[in-house]
Amino acid sequence: MKTAMPRVLIADELSPRAVEIFRARGIEVDIKTGLKKPELLQIIGGYDGLAVRSATKADAAVIAAGTKLKVIGRAGIGVDNIDIPAATARGMVVMNTPFGNSITTAEHAIALLFAAARQLGAADASTQAGKWEKNRFMGVELFSKTLGLIGCGNIGAIVAERAIGLKMKVIAYDPFLSPERAVKLGVEKVEFDELLTRADVITLHTPLTERTKNILSAEALAKARKGVIIVNAARGGLVDEAALRANLESGHVAAAGFDVFTTEPAKENVLFGAPNLVATPHLGASTNEAQENVALQLAEQMSDFLLLGAVSNALNTPSITAEEAPRLKPFVDLITKLGAFAGQLVDDGLEAVEIEYEGEVTQLNTRPLTAAALASLMRPLIPEVNMVSAPSILKDKGTPLKESRSEVSPVYGSLIRIKVKTGGSWRTLAGALNAGSPKIVEVKGMALEADFHPILLFVNNRDKPGFIGNLGTLLGEGEINIATFHLARQTAGGDAIAIVGLDQTLPDPLQQRLRELPNVRYVKVVHL
């Protein structure tokens, strides 16, 4: 039977070359831009992917209506128009293209810096009005001045490189900037208050979060050097606009260059008309090169995900490169089965989770493996959980998760062990690949090698004569056929387990009879 091609809806303007990429990869594409929300809600259920810029709003209603949606892609950096929590809850990957317009945005920040430092906007308007006010526009030289970066990620680093080329000194405040990276970039890492007091120019290059909202507040601006220039080509809302207006009027802030505003489109704003303000209508990514780059990047990313399971630049799930996906696939299968088994052993609430990786698997990207394990582990408790939502759900519930890695596996090339704490006790099982097939290789620290049969009977018992005969007799009386049978024990007469593959499920009355057999401690029927 022929597999249906994935379908992608392009809801905002994208380069024709992006459409060509989708179609060349075997993906069906519909281009329907300018849709009203009711129109989008009516058709979105037929698509596997949704590609947008900033015009289309992928809110909770759209996400709920997208019953087949697997991925939402944003051609650009900002994802304010996508409800990421809603997408995560439904298992949809949300990805952006953070690098396609980085150079363009950084160049615009530098352009705003020059424009603000030399009052180019006002000088242009005055000159074209025939005034020739040469003595009115006294600018400042950027040579040897100190540029303070708030945020030194991809775009901030490019701005730093350009500024160093202008012979400026660059300092940076970024909690995620490592000392080694700072040295490599040629910038000095400083704390926020030090940046405010030292910088002649402050540029912002950080996303808008609860932590960064109004990071340049009235209090922060008051601490800044008199005559500072402020440039924001990142996100609206990073600067208290009313406070900045007051500082521009008082002269404490000498000039400002803004490309982004708290409310957009900014038809009116408290900053408009302020002295020495240069304003542009969110042009940071508005070059032909950038628009082409982000569209092509998005088409490749979405195609790789829909066809190969590769995840790039995702905002709500671990990344998996196209090269990693084939190598990870058998381990995802293994850990998903292990998680499903372990999750059905959680009888008294999930109190903690530990995942151990041993051997060659530690050389792979294990974050997707952990996400897959958590999803299958939690599914008996939360049926709607998925690989995308599982890590955040576990975190929200406050359940501890510990991961460990050992490059050596004593028996197998790679081994994965899952431990779950339930009712105050730990339950442990491990799996490995044998000739590419997933196997159960350890339960409660006892070694064996069992298949992941669709129906498994798990019995924990004391190793005493007669147990196997009693078990076989009971199953025979219930007309339950045994497909596989695996045993393990700690010591003769000590703790033991049996994992039995069954062709029929075990009715509850038969399970109760099994629990009542001599030497039986625990019984569980596991469905995989």
The predicted-structure confidence for 327-359, as pLDDT tens digits, reads as follows 888 998 899 999 999 999 988 888 999 999 999
* CA gap 381, 403 in Å, rounded: 21
Element spanning 194, H or E: helix 192-198
**DSSP E strand stretches across 215-363:** 228-232, 253-258, 277-279, 352-359
How much is the pLDDT for 430? 94
Q: Could you tell me the pLDDT band of residue 281, with boundaries at 50, 70 and 90?
A: very high
Mean pLDDT value across residues 14-18: 91
Please tell me the distance from the alpha carbon of residue 467 to that of residue 475, in angstroms, as a whole number: 12
Of 336, 345, 403, 429, which is closest to residue 375 (Cα–Cα)? 336
Q: Is the predicted pLDDT of residue 39 greater than 70, yes or no? A: yes
The mean pLDDT of 118-139, rounded to a whole number, is 91
Q: Which domains does the chain have, with CATH numbers?
A: 7-99+289-308 (3.40.50.720), 102-279 (3.40.50.720), 323-452 (3.30.1330.90), 453-528 (3.30.70.260)
More confident residue, 324 or 521: 521
Residue 490: count other Cβ atoms within 10 Å of its Cβ. 13
Whether the CB-CB separation of 49 and 31 falls below 8 Å is answered with no
Q: What is the largest CA-CA distance in the chain?
A: 108
- Concatenating the DSSP letter of every residue in 383-447 gives TT--TTTHHHHHHHTT--EEEEEES--SSSSEEEEEEEEETTEEEEEEEEEETTEEEEEEETTEE
Instruction: Give me the residues paired with residue 31 across strands.
Output: 10
Task: Tell me 280's DSSP state.
Answer: -
What percent of the chain has a predicted confidence (pLDDT) above 70? 99
The whole-number average pLDDT for the span 244-264 is 96
Count of C-beta atoms within a 10 Å radius of residue 102:
24
Of 409, 306, 430, 317, residue with least CA distance to 367: 317
The two tokens of residue 508 are 């509850």
- Residues forming beta bridges with residue 232, ordered by sequence position: 204, 258
Taking the alpha carbons at both ends of the chain, their separation in whole angstroms is: 25
**What pLDDT does 3 receive?**
63
Q: Which two structure tokens, joined as six digits, stand for 63?
A: 């996400």
Which parts of 445-487 fold into alpha helices (H)?
467-477
Is the per-residue pLDDT at 101 higher than 90? no
> Residue 2 — pLDDT band, cuts 50, 70, 90?
low
CA atoms of 278 and 272, how far apart (whole Å) = 9
Q: Under 8 Å CB-to-CB from 86, ≥6 apart: which residues? A: 59, 60, 63, 64
Q: How far is CA 365 from CA 96, 248, 331, 388, in A?
A: 20, 50, 11, 16
Q: Is the Cβ–Cβ distance between 25 and 68 less than 8 Å? A: no
CA distance 189 to 437: 50
- Verify cis geometry, omega within 30 degrees of 0, for the bond prior to 16: no
Residue 435, pLDDT > 90, answer no
Confidence of residue 175 (pLDDT cuts 50, 70, 90): confident
In 3-state terms the chain splits into helix, strand, coil percentages (rounded to 5) of 35, 25, 40
> Quick one: which H or E segment has residue 197?
helix 192-198
Q: β-strand 277-279 against 352-359: which pairing, if any?
A: unpaired
Beta partners for residue 203, in sequence order: 149, 231
Q: What is the model's pLDDT at position 452?
A: 92
Residues designated catalytic: 235, 264, 282
Model confidence at 1, pLDDT cuts 50, 70, 90, reads very low
CA angle at 99 for the pair 93 and 101, rounded to the nearest 5°: 115
Confidence band (pLDDT; 50, 70, 90) for 100? Answer: confident
**Are residues 447 and 441 in contact, defined by beta-carbon separation less than 8 angstroms?**
yes
Report, as an integer, the average pLDDT of 21-49. 95
> Which pLDDT band holds residue 236 (cuts at 50, 70, 90)?
very high
pLDDT at 42: 96
Residue type present at position 449: E
Residues 176-189 have a mean pLDDT of 91
Provide φ and ψ at 106, rounded to 5°.
-65, -40
Average pLDDT of the chain is 91
- For residue 527, the SS3 value is strand
Consecutive H or E run containing 374: helix 367-378
pTM: 0.61
- DSSP one-letter string for 77-131: S--TTB-HHHHHHTT-EEE--SSTTHHHHHHHHHHHHHHHHHTHHHHHHHHHTT-
Strands 482-489 and 455-462: unpaired
Structure tokens at 142: 């950027």
Residues 6+ apart with CB under 8 A from 517: 467, 470, 471, 474
**Partner residues linked to 420 by β-bridges:** 353, 427
Tens-place pLDDT, residues 452-463: 999 999 999 999
How far is residue 483's CA from residue 206's CA, in Å, rounded to a whole number?
Answer: 58
Pair 388, 348: CB distance under 8 Å: no
Task: Give the residue-averaged pLDDT of 358-370.
Answer: 90
Structure tokens at 365: 């990207």
